[in-house]
Amino acid sequence: MIEFKNATKQYGQRLVLDNVNLKIQGGEWLWLTGPSGAGKSTLIHALIGAISLTHGSVKVDNYNIGTFNTLAIQEYRRKIGIVFQDYKLLQKKTVYENVAFAMEVCGYGNRQIERLVPAVLLKVGLAQARHHFPYMLSGGERQRVAIARALIHEPRLIIADEPTGNLDAKTAKDIILLLQKLNVEGVTVIVATHNHELLKIVKGRVITLEEGRLTE
């Protein structure tokens, strides 16, 4: 379970998160909506330990993320999957190598990599594109590589921050449906978006941030 308690983030005089209280159950699908600058990305960055809150806390399975040192944060992030709008792929590596690299930096051996990477590429529909470079892929395919990379550690939680922002409507739907399949398998999925059309694709709890304040 994830719990934000009185989560507040302030940059100078600007209040980005204003006393946010939120609980997310394991296996839940959560839509995080709101206009640009509402605080969605800040909330996500607090959840992955990329920023520290000014006040309040965020806990995952009763562990306070704010108390983690650098080593603990690295270990924690290996247990979650993170998908961004801009894919963050390595341009000089193939699809296979992009996913394998995520395992290499975490200390996986060659046998594990050779066993797991093909399986996860098959899962996201990219088995035939394993030797392609990012420039050879469509936007939807690039996002599938990013999802494959997020899945490689078999996470219980996937956080997607505007994952369809650079995609057309049909491709965006395909990406959301792919994430839905993972949710059905028991993975908790949090999708941040300002595109309300996506909310029609998958039913889930909808949380809205406006000027750092939360409404449900």
144-189 pLDDT tens trace: 999 999 988 889 999 999 888 888 899 999 999 999 999 999 999 9
* 150, 81 contact by CB (below 8 A): yes
- What is the Rg, in whole angstroms, of the alpha carbon atoms belonging to the chain? 17
Residues of the chain with pLDDT under 50: none
Residues 58, 10: Cα–Cα separation, whole Å: 16
At 116, the amino acid letter reads L
pTM of the model: 0.90
What per-residue confidence (pLDDT) applies to 65? 93
Smallest CA-to-CA distance from 168 within 146, 141, 190 is with: 141
Strands, E assignment, 139-204? 157-161, 188-192
- Show the tokens assigned to 98: 């992009």
Distances (CA, A) of 141 to 108, 117, 130, 174, 198: 25, 16, 11, 10, 19
Query: How does DSSP classify residue 74?
Result: H
Q: Assess contact for 6 and 57: CB atoms under 8 A.
A: yes
Residue 143 CA to residue 84 CA, distance in Å, equals 8
- Collect all residues with Cβ–Cβ distance below 8 Å to 13 and sequence separation of at least 6: none
Residue 180: closest CA among 201, 163, 196: 201
Nearest residue to 190 via CA among 162, 159, 155: 159
Residue 118 tokens, joined: 């093909």
Given a contact cutoff of 8 angstroms between Cβ atoms, the answer to whether 125 and 144 are in contact is yes
pLDDT at 215: 84
